[in-house]
Structure 1
Amino acid sequence: MKFKQQYAQNQRIERITSNHIVIGIDIAKETQVARAVTYRGIELGRPCSFKNDDVGYLKLLSWVKSLQKEHNKNSVMVGMEPTGHYWLNLAWWLLEQRFEVVTVNPYHVKSNKENRDNSPTKSDLKDALVIADMVKNGYYSPLRLPTGKYQALRVLMSDREFVIKQFISIQNQIHRWLDIWFPEYHRVFKDWSCKTSLVTLRLFPLPSELKILSPEEIYASWKPHMKRRASISFAKVLVEQAQQSIAQNVAPEQVKRSLLFLLDQYERLTTQLGELEQEAISLMKEIPQAKSLLTIPGIGKITIAGILAETGDLSMYRHGQQVLRLAGLHLGEDSSGKHKGQVRITKRGRSGLRKFLYLAVLHLVVNNEEFRSLHHHYTRTKKMKKIHSIIKLCGKLARILVGITRQEQTYNPEKVVTAAIAA
């Protein structure tokens, strides 16, 4: 059965009954504001402003309990914007108090702020009421905070992403250094990050230092640092390129120190990246879902770790379409009357999950026979553009991931091709 978003919307509305108090909270770093409405949108009580600390949380709890008692309501649903990281502690605390917590899209809050007063004004008090109205109308998403090993995996993959950004930045700075101070270096070493190149850059990075050395001296200098080193012919080419270099010999000591600093950072980040990936792989061994997901040929362990870090427990999802919407890979178009807009992915979701799903499909198209066959079918038989085929296969992968975890099965290649081509 195909997943229909309208059915999910109806179910979210039906969950809110006449026994509910719907609370909207405008999140801030220090002072937050809460307002309450009934399932019909009638505001209850006065707004509650509270600090983002334990005293403020107890004030919020007391306010909610008093509203429940006054209006004889036994159920509470709390909605909030996932603003930065300020909402996380409050969300965890509310869950501990047995409240149902949901989130609303900040873009939707901005779009709905004129519903009550037909005014573009914005304030914390107004936003809290807008959020409450959105929740009672079903414009919310269930809160899926990762717990246990999924939370640990999410922290590891977040740290990995941070290290990778720094790693790329350092690589670019080393490229810049070489382009300025030794532009001919790439003619000798196609890959500056190989072992011999890194040793060379530490021993004599500047052309002015290489000019006065013989190939034999360079070759001998490599020996204490490497068991397997480049041949003496490499040393000859290195000297020749240094003699022909157009680089200027300006402030050599400062320039060398700059490179050594970059190389130290590069090696440190390389070590950190390896440690994080190894820890993530070790942690995945303790997650039962990971073993089943790794039976899919063509997906690496780090890719699966990235997907699980973003989605949490995949068995909580009823359909792969929910994973696509979480990633912002669901389709949308802008059409009106005779105008037919282009169908594009919305990108309204987690960019990290979107990246890992996209990269996973790229690898599957190359390394997985079934996905390669489907990609060929979509591009050759159905005449789809390659990028459209990749996005379609992202949906296929999402359904496979959810199906494997919910049914506690392993990857079945026959189901992949047969069901997709028949459709």
Structure 2
Amino acid sequence: MSYRLGALAQESINVVLSVLVREIRALEKNIKELDKAIEQVIVVIPEYQCLTSIPGVGKVYAAGLIAEIGQIERFEDQTKLAKYAGLSWKVNQSGNYQSQNTPLTKQGNRYFRYYLVEAANSVKNYLPEYKAFYQSKYKEVPKHQHKRALVLTARKFTRLVDTLLRKHQLYTPPRSVIEK
């Protein structure tokens, strides 16, 4: 059951709501201005061109990845880059026993991991190679299918990002084996 508010309470609620709406609109305007400023700065960075050449990687993911990676040369190879993101798995073994169920370490830059996983999620919708990889990993296990498949796709995406940034080249789709 609901009750009507008194005139005084209704008026004060309306005032508070109007103030909050104005604040939200001002914040949205500031966010748009910041996005434009970031885009103007980042467009001239060569790494930005490399990353945005990948279908599914937009300006936000590219800017986030560049900000979190910094200089790619500070990582020896793609395994160190993946470890920095926390996309590596703990080794559980004792004697001859090796566990099949190994959790992600998650010891790394969580923002970088976020950008990699989200960009991989987007890329899998644009590139058939990544979509097939995701689907094959999804079907491998009975539980945590999406999470596991997405993290493994992000790990594969890390190799692509590392290669493109090290070689300073744009993404080119793989050629099909049979050309018609």
TM-score w.r.t. length of structure 1: 0.37
- Distance in 2 separating the partners of 1:357 and 1:364: 10
Q: 1:327 aligns with which of 59, 63, 85?
A: 85
For 2:109, the equivalent position in structure 1 comes to 350
State the shift of 1:342 in Å. 2.7
Residue 402 (structure 1) aligned to one of 162, 167, 179: 162
Q: Do the aligned partners of residues 342 and 377 (structure 1) sit closer, same or farther apart at CA in structure 2, a change above 3 Å counting? A: closer
In 1: Cα distance, 2:23 partner to 2:167 partner: 46
- Give the aligned residue type for 2:14: K
Residue of structure 2 equivalent to 1:411: 171
Is residue 324–residue 398 contact of structure 1 (8 Å, CA) maintained in 2?
yes
* Match in the other structure for 1:289: 47
- 2:147 counterpart residue number: 387
Match of 1:298 in 2: 56
- Aligned to 2:135, which of 364, 367, 376? 376
SS in 2 for 1:390: helix
CA distance in 1, matches of 2:115, 2:3: 41
Do residues 249 (structure 1) and 5 (structure 2) align? yes
Larger radius of gyration between Structure 1 and Structure 2: 1
Of 15, 24, 31 in structure 2, the residue corresponding to residue 273 of structure 1 is 31
* Conserved 8 A contact 1:314-1:401: no
C-alpha separation between the residues in 1 aligned to 2:85 and 2:19? 38
Residues 339/370 of structure 1: CA separation in 2 closer, same or farther (3 Å cut) = closer
After TM superposition, give the deviation of residue 336 of structure 1 in Å. Answer: 4.0
Residue type at the aligned position of 1:367: Y
Cα 1:407/1:339, change in 2 over 3 Å: closer
**1:305 Cα deviation after fit:** 0.3
Partners of 1:247 and 1:268 in 2: how far apart? Answer: 33
One-letter code aligned to 2:5: N
1:366 to 2:122 alignment: no
- List per-residue Cα deviations over 1:155-191 (Å, max 9, x = no partner): xxxxxxxxxxxxxxxxxxxxxxxxxxxxxxxxxxxxx
- The reply to whether residue 311 of structure 1 matches residue 69 of structure 2 is yes
Q: Which has the higher strand share?
A: 1
- Percent identical among aligned pairs is 22
Please state which structure has a larger fraction of its residues in helix. Answer: 2
C-alpha RMSD over aligned residues: 2.5
Aligned to 1:62: none
Distance 1:247 1:291, change over 3 A: farther
For residues 155 and 99 of structure 2, the distance between their equivalents in structure 1, rounded to whole angstroms, comes to 23
Q: What is the deviation of 1:333?
A: 4.0
Separation in structure 1 between the aligned mates of residue 98 and residue 156 of structure 2, nearest angstrom? 30
Partner Cα distance (1:405, 1:414) in 2: 18
8 A contact 2:137–2:152 mirrored in 1: no
The one-letter code of the counterpart of 1:376 is Q
Deviations 1:5-32 (A, max 9, x none): xxxxxxxxxxxxxxxxxxxxxxxxxxxx
Is the partner of 2:5 in helix, strand or coil? coil
Structure 1 residue 246, shift from structure 2 partner? 3.7
Is the contact made by 2:117 and 2:150 (CA closer than 8 Å) also made in structure 1? Answer: yes
8 Å CA contact 1:292, 1:409 repeated in 2: yes
Amino acid aligned to 1:300: G
- Structure 1, unpaired ranges of 5+: 1-244, 419-423
Tell me, yes or no, if the aligned pair for 1:321 and 1:395 is still in contact at 8 Å: no
Equivalent residues in 2 for 1:206-221, closer than 5 Å: none
Distance 1:397 1:277 in 2: 25
Structure 2 Cα separation of the partners of residues 349 and 304 of structure 1: 19
CA–CA distance in 2 between the matches of 1:247 and 1:340?
A: 60
1:307 deviation in Å? Answer: 0.8
SS in 2 for 1:414: coil
Distance between the aligned counterparts of 1:248 and 1:366, measured in 2?
Answer: 49
Map 1:88-99 onto structure 2 (within 5 A): none
What CA distance in whole angstroms lies between the structure 1 residues aligned with 2:43 and 2:23? 31
- 1:128-277 counterparts in 2 under 5 A? 246=2, 248-250=4-6, 251-277=9-35
The change in CA–CA distance for 1:299 and 1:335 in structure 2 (over 3 A counts) is same
Structure-1 separation of matches of 2:99 and 2:163: 34
Higher RCO (CA-CA < 8 Å; seq separation 6+):
2
